[in-house]
Amino acid sequence: MDGILLPLAFALVGLVIGIPSYITKKRRWPGMIAGFEPAKCTDVDGLTRWVGGAGMLLGCALLVGAVAVYVAPQYLGAVAVMLALVGVIGSIATQTGCARFTRR
């Protein structure tokens, strides 16, 4: 039972991030983006594609991490470091990419 809870938690968080990101990207739904202000946005479609794609990548990284921890639990530390790096780098890339679609 212990060996399944962490991969299940990773997979659940990956789905919680990935599914709304997919909806944001495919349906062009900017209301799903936190802090979205239509008056400051120059390209709504570009913003939804960028944020949705970045969220989908983060969700997929969590799903891959869940599979990796389930298959090889001895590499839990390496997977945790990988997920932390992907999360930080993905957040920075998302934030800097959003600056292209907003005015100040």
pLDDT at 102: 82
Helix axes 2-27, 44-71, angle to 10 degrees: 160
Looking at residue 29, its pLDDT comes to 86
**Which residues are CB-contacts of 42 (< 8 A; sequence separation ≥ 6)?**
101, 102, 103
Cα dist from 25 to 29, 31, 44, 96, whole Å: 7, 11, 11, 18
pLDDT tens, position by position, for the chain (104 residues)? 668 999 999 999 999 999 999 999 999 888 888 888 888 888 889 999 999 999 999 999 999 999 999 999 999 999 999 999 999 999 999 989 888 888 77
The domain ranges of the chain are 2-101
Amino acid at the residue 79: V
- Which helix (H) or strand (E) segment holds residue 22: the answer is helix 2-27
